[in-house]
Structure 1
Amino acid sequence: MTAKPARDPRDYSWLPADIQAFIARTEAAYPADAVTFSIQQQRAFYDRLCADFDPPHPPGVTTEDLTLAGVPCRRYTPTAPRSGVTAIYFHGGGFVVGGLHSHDAICAELAEGAQVVLIAVDYRLAPEHTHPAAYDDCAAVVDSVPGAKVLIGDSAGGTLAAAVSATRGETAQIAGQVLIYAALGGDPSLPSYTRHAFAPMLTRADVEFYGTVRYAGGVAPVGDVTATPLAADSYEGLPPTAIFSAEADPIASDSVEYAARLAEAGVPVEMTEEPGLVHGYLRARHMSEGARASFRRITSALAALAAQAVAQ
């Protein structure tokens, strides 16, 4: 029997055609080698990308810009919001790019789809504001919002959601968390770091860049759960969690490892690895069947956690 040749680690032609189109459209605005440019240029690229993937809000959703605990935020109110619970969203962007504009439509659609008031947090960015600035901002907003809360974040925002859940826990009435292709500080020996080192949208080299730029001196603190949630000594008492990862993503193993540790600690957790998807696929929800289906699952998970919080 002839051995099957190993796949070229740089060949992602096996991804679905609609995801290939999404990657091409993304890279037209945000180059694949964006991290080699200045921070200012990276932000300009990202702003252009956001503008290209920013559809109108669902009818009836209203927004209000406000400041909570000294942090700029945006509140999204859906047409029939459930009372007694608030979702708080932390955006992705490697701790370097993004803000209230970058995930505006995503937040509006999540709020309406889950029928929950949602607050997006415009936390401070690196390298101007190194760790723990972003964490401090997110924790302060969570502490300032009364009642039960479900935290939700993608990529770097998933890091922040998990970090705040780990450290604020029941004190801040965190009733659930939804983590989307989150960077959780996994060991680079985990499988996805090698298998998808050259993945489109996010490479292992990109992960290493973002993993240093957010820290003063470029070195992550050891054992600091506010920086890397997988550094926790214990996972007991964390809130019910829904985790979504993308198959073609170097940090996908972070989600698998985190889910396993939650399950071992007796925390209710649902882990979904989305086949044929890439890091950043939330923006593909209106042009990819797989991303659209995943966004529906994410919205349903948020709605279920919010309903559970209200029922308690």
Structure 2
Amino acid sequence: MVTERTENPTPPPLLNAMLGLVSAPRLNIRQNYPRLRLLQRLVAGPTGRFQALDRSIVADDGHEIPVRVFLPKQQTHDDVILFFHGGGWVIGNIDTYTASCAALADATGRVLLSVDYRLAPEHPFPAGFDDCLRVTQVLLHEPDVLDLDDAGAITLMGDSAGGNLVAVVCQQLRSSGGPMPSRQVLLYPATWYDHDPATTPFDSVRLYGTGYPLKAQDIMDYMALYVPDAAARRDPRVAPLLADDLTGQPPALVVTAELDVLRDEGEAYADKLREAGNSVRLERQPSTWHGYLSLPRFAGPVVRLHDMITEFLDQPLP
């Protein structure tokens, strides 16, 4: 199913007013990412009122990768969601995403596991990717490590940078010939390496790269912290849209935001998956901007997103 794409709308007056509130003058992310991390923790508030269990996976080099297991209020399905959070590979963690993950678990009726992968710049690429790949492999091979007797079908899900990590983990698993997740859900994912309005091939960068919560310069800053070597940003494990072979990928739900700098590259990735013969559902959320998963669970865009995800997960596999 493909949502009809309206071309480059003008936000209505009320939405423009809201954008004026949320689009504060930008901080220099390369210098101020610790302040952004602190602000996120303060905004996230307490995390103890949700049904969650903290576990960890040991990586090959011995470091522990924290994993938070969210139990839905009513579990109606045996399959499991493995979630990679957003934040430009630099900010965000399982605490700041606890409310969103708990809401996803409740809405879908599924156990959800959130991965606290290592962040740049302290741990640049491929550290975060390696952590997400390791947890996915353990869940596919040894679900009892996370107190799951049988993980059943596994869906990889992530937003923004987390959507990027979903795409590249699926690509890596396909290349290695091991077990694959049953589905993948990419929410407004980053899939490209160039977000300079002067050189990018994507109009959404030029249209929505200023005046919105996520700016083109923000993405360039995040990318510089995650992958300091500019040439290395063309690695398909950083820019999954550059992958030569996308055959054999899990059925995908790709959801973009209409007023998002990353909109066009997310939709281009969905198109490339479909062209490679994969089952793909592409949806564009109207009048929304980047990061809306983190809105309260009763917000309209979140309710619609939960409905889309649940419908996708409830459908029989092709």
TM-superposed deviation, 1:40: 1.6
CA contact (8 A) 1:240 1:305 kept: no
Query: What's 2:305 paired with?
Result: 298
Note if 1:163 corresponds to 2:168. Answer: yes
Distance 1:270 1:281 in 2: 19
Query: What's 1:14 paired with?
Result: 11
CA contact (8 A) 2:124 2:226 kept: yes
CA contact (8 A) 1:116 1:303 kept: no
In structure 2, the CA distance between the partners of 1:22 and 1:108, relative to structure 1 (3 Å rule), is farther
TM-superposed deviation, 1:305: 4.5
1:138 to 114, 132, 139: 132
Matches within 5 A, 1:220-231: 220-221=231-232, 223-231=234-242
In structure 2, the CA distance between the partners of 1:305 and 1:275, relative to structure 1 (3 Å rule), is closer
Matches within 5 A, 1:155-234: 155-169=160-174, 171-185=178-192, 188-215=200-227, 217-221=228-232, 223-234=234-245
SS in structure 1 at match of 2:287 = strand
Distance 2:115 2:20 in 1: 27
Distance 2:35 2:282 in 1: 35
Query: What's 2:248 paired with?
Result: 237
TM-superposed deviation, 1:287: 7.0
Distance 2:20 2:99 in 1: 19
Matches within 5 A, 1:224-303: 224-286=235-297, 288=299, 292=300, 294-303=301-310
Query: What's 1:86 paired with?
Result: 80
SS in structure 1 at match of 2:124 = coil
TM-superposed deviation, 1:205: 0.9
Q: Please list every run of 5 or more consecutive structure 1 residues that lacks an aligned counterpart in the other structure.
A: 1-8
Q: What do residues 22-67 of structure 1 show as CA deviations (whole Å, max 9, x unaligned)?
A: 762585xxx633526423222122223333xx8996xxx6210010
Amino acid at match of 2:291: G
Amino acid at match of 2:241: L
CA contact (8 A) 1:142 1:172 kept: no
In structure 2, the CA distance between the partners of 1:23 and 1:220, relative to structure 1 (3 Å rule), is farther
Amino acid at match of 1:65: D
Distance 2:253 2:230 in 1: 30
SS in structure 2 at match of 1:174 = coil
TM-superposed deviation, 1:295: 2.4
CA contact (8 A) 1:32 1:200 kept: no
Note if 1:126 corresponds to 2:120. Answer: yes
In structure 2, the CA distance between the partners of 1:186 and 1:280, relative to structure 1 (3 Å rule), is same
Query: What's 1:50 paired with?
Result: 44
CA contact (8 A) 1:124 1:134 kept: yes
Aligned-residue identity in percent: 30
In structure 2, the CA distance between the partners of 1:287 and 1:117, relative to structure 1 (3 Å rule), is closer
Query: What's 2:35 paired with?
Result: 41
CA contact (8 A) 1:186 1:254 kept: no
Matches within 5 A, 1:48-127: 48-51=42-45, 62-69=51-58, 70-82=64-76, 84-127=78-121
Equivalences, count? 288
CA contact (8 A) 2:100 2:297 kept: no
Amino acid at match of 1:207: I
Scaled by the length of structure 1, the TM-score of the pair is 0.82
Q: Which stretch of structure 1 is more off in the superposition, 299-308 or 199-208?
A: 299-308
Distance 1:24 1:49 in 2: 16
Distance 1:156 1:163 in 2: 11
Q: What do residues 196-251 of structure 1 show as CA deviations (whole Å, max 9, x unaligned)?
A: 12141111111111121101x34252652221111110111111111111111111
SS in structure 2 at match of 1:75 = strand
